[in-house]
Structures are given as C-alpha cells and as structure tokens.
C-alpha cells in the first residue's frame, strides 16, 4: 500500500515548484549576496526576491523580514534578543502554558539569568484569556510571547486582541506563528505583533530555513554576531538554497491559501466525522478556532505510541506529540494545561493533513486507525467492553 503521510505538522513535503526552484538555483548559481561583483549582485537579487515573497505572505515590508535557520532559531532570537536589548528596562515576560519547547526552554534559560516569567493558564480548548493577560502585565514587563496556532491541538489564540493590549501598554509582543503562517492568513498589522516566528517546512518549503518578522524600531539584539547580513540582526552568509525554497513556498502559499484551506478543512471534517463513530474518543482543541490541517484526539484506554506503531505498520504516518518532545514519556504539557486527564493524554494522536492527501487516503487511514484501536483496546486492562 502507498504510504499515507499524516504528519504535516512535523514537516511538509516539498512542493514540486519549490523543489524545481531550489534545484535550478543549486545547479546554476552560488555566490554571497554581499559580495561586490556581479555574482554577488545576482545572489542579492535572488535573496531580496525571496524576502519580498515572505513579507507578502504576512503583509509586511521586505525589510521587516529576516531569514533564519527555522522556527526554533526565530523563536530563540525573538525572546532572547529582546531580553538582551532591553537590558535594565525590565525583567518580566508573559507567556502561556501551552507554548512550544523552544519558547519554554528559551524562557527557562532567561529565568536562570534572573528574569521572571508569568505563564498564563488556558481554558479547556487551549485558549488564553486576554483579560487575564492584561492583569499579568507589570511595570517590569518587557515582552509578551503567545503562540498563534498551537502545534499539538491546533487552537488559534486571540492574537489580535492581545496585540491591542500590548500596543496600548507599550510592551513588545512576539507570536510563535510557526504552525500557522503559510497555512492560514496572517497579517502583522491586524494582529498588532512586533515579532513573529515562521518556518518554511510548514508550508511545503524545505526544513532548515525560517524567518522572523521584526517591526521597525523594535529593540532586539542579534543572537549571531558577525557580518552585516539580515539588517545587522543575523550575521552569517545566508542559506541561499533554503531561502529560494522558502520564497517560492511563500509565493504559492499566498496564491493558493484559501483554496488549500477549503481543501484541508474538507479532509479534516470527513476524518472527524468518522472518528466520532468510535466510542470514547475525545477531540482536543477548539472546535472552530483551529487550523484546518490538524486534528488532535485522545482514544481512551489505550496508549498513543502503540497506536502510532500499529499505524506505521499499516503505512499510515501520524504523531503522538510535538516532534520536538519525542522521547519524553510524560503526558503532553499542552493537553494537561487544557485539562485533559493524564490517562487520556497518553492516548493522544495528532493527525495533520497536507495538500497532497486525498479523501481516499483519509478513509484508508481511518480504517487503519479503527483496526488498531479495536485491537489495542482488546488488550487493555482499562477498557471495559460495553
């Protein structure tokens, strides 16, 4: 059987046009964009062309976008870069209980340096309460970092509302939008963000390249010091092949966004409808405020990893938790924060669709899932047959 890939939240396959653009570049071009000769000028033109596409995707100006090595670097840069640049101005940062590891660990590192972090609770859908966030602001607060779409349960946070608050209070606002940029519309003006992290491998671009949106006049220090690349914010010769891929992927994502969203939502709805025919399944995340390409659910009385393994044998590839948390045996902090009980959290599966998936694949994947659920439940000491 042809494998069915349902783990697009971990990485998307390259779009054929993206691959062509990258191959074209790697075969014919090289050069450092800041070299002062024609080869350099050509590279600079390619670089700026890609930057324009990425900026276009988020309704920003090209000079507000800096290329990085991916979502993790962008997030580290936003958080640590602001903390470094702010110096004595303040030592308090606000975040939420459901952030990605790169946010949590960047903040943990800052806490060791004496920063204070307030981590906001979420409701059962994983939503942060903007009113609660406003109350958490102190005179010492320098940064608010709240993700846009959650990578484990798909919930979309009220970023625009939070952006309004941070603007009024004059506090910098970063959003980890890795799971959403390129998937759903993102407008830096409407959302009122000062910094936004994104990664190309979420929208059919390559892994190892991402970008950070930086609003003009934002106080942020570089993490990598050296040359003048990326407006003095990220030294080092650019990953040109990756950037070419990201530029193309951004162009396509913008052009096809609504078409893709409608298609993905169709796949997701069909899958969820079938899912609900299995007894004792809990759907995680918000029923409406959610990205169209991901569904998280907990199958009670069985464990997620054994389900994953059985699906793998059937050629269906999904995930149980954030790829970055693989190896941890603990229940997901996101699910626990959203009030899921520990046993159900252990039985969680994340299915994330992509534009190359078909309705037929969704049907096949569901049948494989149903088979493994029935099989594993028959072995579970916790499941009482009804």
119 near another protein, judged by CB under 8 A: no
Residue 7: CB minimum distance to another protein, A: 12
Rounded-to-integer distance, Cα 13 and Cα 327, Å: 23
- CA–CA distance from 299 to each of 76, 294, 349, 357, 370 (Å)? 34, 16, 8, 23, 10
382 sits near another protein (criterion: CB under 8 A): yes
Is 379 a binding residue for another protein by CB under 8 A? The answer is yes
342 is an interface residue for another protein by CB under 8 A: yes
- Of positions 144, 331, 349, 368, contacts another protein by CB under 8 A: 331
Size of the site for another protein (CB under 8 A): 24
Torsion from C-alpha of 336, 299, 368, 179, nearest 10 degrees? -20
Q: Is 346 in the site for another protein (CB under 8 A)?
A: yes
Provide the β-strand partners of residue 159: none
* Residue 386 binding another protein, by CB under 8 A: no
Q: Which is nearer to another protein, 63 or 341 (CB)?
A: 341
CB 363 to another protein: min, Å: 22
Select from 19-27, 140-148, 187-195, 372-380 the region that touches another protein (CB under 8 A): 372-380
* Binding test (CB under 8 A) with another protein, winner from 114, 216, 287, 381: 381
324 is catalytic: yes
Catalytic one of 235, 272, 324, 336: 324
Contact pattern for another protein over residues 271 through 310, marking x by CB under 8 A = ------------------------------xxx-xx--xx
Q: Is 107 in the site for another protein (CB under 8 A)?
A: no
Dist. CA 352–CA 323, nearest whole Å: 12
Backbone angles phi, psi at 8, to 5 degrees: -70, -15
- Give yes or no for residue 312 binding another protein (CB under 8 A): yes
In the 3-class helix/strand/coil scheme, how is 323-379 assigned residue by residue?
HHHCCCCCCCHHHHHCCCCHHHHHCEEEEECCCCCCHHHHHHHHHHHHHHHHHHHHH
Q: State how far the alpha carbon of 359 is from the alpha carbons of 2, 343, 354, in Å.
A: 14, 31, 11
Q: CB of 331: closest distance to another protein in angstroms?
A: 6
**CB 301 to another protein: min, Å:** 7
Cα–Cα separations (whole angstroms), residue 225 to 88, 145, 262: 21, 24, 43
List CB contacts of 196: < 8 A, sequence separation 6 or more: 58, 148, 174, 175, 177, 181, 186, 188, 212, 213
| Residue 306 DSSP SS3 | helix
CB of 327 to another protein, least distance (A): 6
Binding site for another protein (CB under 8 A): 301-303, 305-306, 309-310, 312-313, 327, 329-331, 336, 341-343, 346, 376, 378-382
Q: Which residues are the active-site residues?
A: 324
């Amino acid at each position: 059987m042809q494998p069915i890939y349902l783990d697009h939240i971990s990485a998307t396959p390259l779009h054929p046009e993206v691959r062509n653009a990258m191959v074209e570049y790697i075969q014919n071009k090289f050069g450092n964009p800041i070299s002062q000769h024609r080869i350099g000028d050509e590279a600079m033109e390619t670089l700026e062309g890609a930057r324009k596409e990425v900026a276009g995707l988020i309704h920003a100006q090209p000079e507000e976008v800096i290329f990085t090595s991916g979502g993790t670097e962008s997030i580290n840069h936003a958080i640590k870069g602001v903390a470094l640049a702010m110096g004595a101005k303040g030592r308090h940062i606000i975040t939420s209980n459901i952030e990605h590891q790169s946010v949590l660990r960047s903040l943990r590192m800052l806490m060791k340096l004496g920063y204070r972090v307030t981590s906001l609770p979420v409701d059962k859908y994983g939503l942060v309460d903007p009113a609660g966030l406003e109350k958490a602001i102190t005179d010492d607060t320098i940064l608010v970092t709240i993700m846009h779409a959650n990578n484990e349960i798909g919930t979309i946070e009220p970023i625009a509302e939070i952006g309004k608050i941070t603007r009024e209070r004059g506090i910098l606002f970063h959003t980890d939008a890795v799971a959403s940029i390129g998937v759903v519309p993102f407008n830096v003006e409407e959302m009122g963000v000062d910094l936004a992290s994104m990664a190309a491998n979420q929208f059919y671009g390559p892994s190892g390249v991402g970008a950070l949106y930086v609003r003009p006049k934002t106080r942020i220090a570089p993490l990598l010091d050296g040359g003048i690349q990326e407006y003095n914010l990220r030294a080092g010769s650019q990953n040109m092949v990756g950037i070419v891929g990201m530029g193309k992927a951004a162009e396509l994502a913008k052009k096809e966004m609504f078409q893709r969203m409608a298609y993905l939502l169709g796949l997701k709805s069909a899958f969820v409808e079938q899912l609900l025919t299995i007894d004792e399944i809990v759907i995680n995340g918000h029923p409406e405020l959610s990205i169209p390409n991901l569904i998280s659910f907990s199958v009670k009385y069985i464990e997620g990893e054994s389900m994953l393994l059985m699906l793998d044998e059937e050629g269906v590839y999904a995930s149980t938790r954030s790829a970055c948390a693989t190896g941890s045996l603990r229940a997901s902090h996101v699910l626990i924060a959203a009030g899921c009980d520990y046993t159900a959290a252990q039985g969680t599966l994340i299915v994330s669709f992509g534009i190359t998936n078909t309705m037929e694949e969704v049907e096949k994947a569901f049948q494989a899932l149903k088979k493994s659920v029935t099989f594993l439940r028959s072995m579970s000491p916790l499941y009482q047959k009804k």
